[in-house]
Amino acid sequence: MTSAADRLASVQSDIRAAEAEFGRKEESVTLIAVSKTFEADDIRPVLDAGQKVFGENRVQEAMGKWPGLRGDYAGIELHLIGPLQSNKAKEAVQTFDVIHTVDRPKIARALKSEMDRQDRQLPCFIQVNTGEEPQKAGIPPREVDAFISQCRDEIGLSIIGLMCIPPVDEAPGEHFALLEKIADRNGLAQLSMGMSADYPVAVGFGATHVRVGSAIFGARDYT
Ligand SMILES: *Cc1c(COP(=O)(O)O)cnc(C)c1O
């Protein structure tokens, strides 16, 4: 049986291979190891293998695991990749280092006022609902340019890039290409896209951050 540390090494080598294949600069893609649903003891071997950048999708769950792990391992960078309620903004700003899921003015304002209060300005990505799926979070593509300006100029968030989760039943490439196009015309350098099933494809479309969970930690058990 392969271990999480073995799978981490193989994901990392896939990323380096995709960088080479698509003419991307070496180590221009950051691997976010998505540890949602896994316990601290499942995460430790991946930390021991040297991984520092992790993603979680729930504020409450992250608060239960990461303060302890941060005490044992230096230099951890924790990314919030799941939907955020404005009443959790305080805990989100305390717990995370980067936010990927800014998608409406209310959340942008709540985050900014918490960042000011805690004197902790976190870099943020705006989530774009590239497939315009009604059940999915993210700002629709036609509203994104105005929302980026609002977040930057009016609200004062530090917006570093865009994030998307393509529809499960579609080829992801056109969604990645759309995200890259929107980022480009808005002068945003970072693209958070690509998961276990498609991260090498995402590297080809310019991903700077891939969010990989099950390919490292194994299948998730939600029961
Ligand atoms: C769970 C999750 C991932 C990782 O998914 P895998 O398919 O397990 O790699 C990536 N991004 C987001 C937003 C997620 O919620």
Q: One-letter amino acid identity for 35?
A: S
d(CA 203, CA 1): 28
Tell me, what's the pLDDT at 222?
Answer: 74
**Alpha-carbon separation of residue 94 from 54, 60, 65, 97 (angstroms):** 16, 12, 13, 8
Structure tokens at 23: 């003419």
Atom of ligand 1 nearest to the CA of 215: 9
Residue ranges lining ligand 1, Cβ < 6 Å: 34, 36, 57, 81-82, 165, 195-197, 211-215
If one residue of 38, 191, 195 were mutated to test the ligand 1 pocket, choosing by the most ligand atoms within 8 A of its CB, it would be: 195
Within a 10 A sphere around the Cβ of 69, how many other Cβ atoms? 16
Please, what is the end-to-end C-alpha distance for the chain in angstroms? 23
Atom of ligand 1 nearest to the CA of 32: 10
Nearest residue (by CA) to ligand 1, atom 4, is 213
Atom of ligand 1 nearest to the CA of 214: 8
**Alpha-carbon separation of residue 223 from 14, 35, 37, 220 (angstroms):** 31, 16, 10, 9
Structure tokens at 159: 């917006």
pTM for the model stands at 0.97
CA–chain centroid gap for 222, Å, is: 20
pLDDT class of 210 with cuts at 50, 70, 90: very high
Tell me, what's the pLDDT at 200?
Answer: 98
Q: One-letter amino acid identity for 129?
A: N
Report the percent of the chain where pLDDT is more than 70: 99
Nearest alpha-carbon partner for 164 in 135, 195, 196: 195
Using only C-alpha atoms, the chain has a radius of gyration, in whole angstroms, of 17
Q: How confident is the model over 80-136, as pLDDT tens digits? A: 999 999 999 999 999 999 999 999 999 999 999 999 999 999 999 999 999 999 999
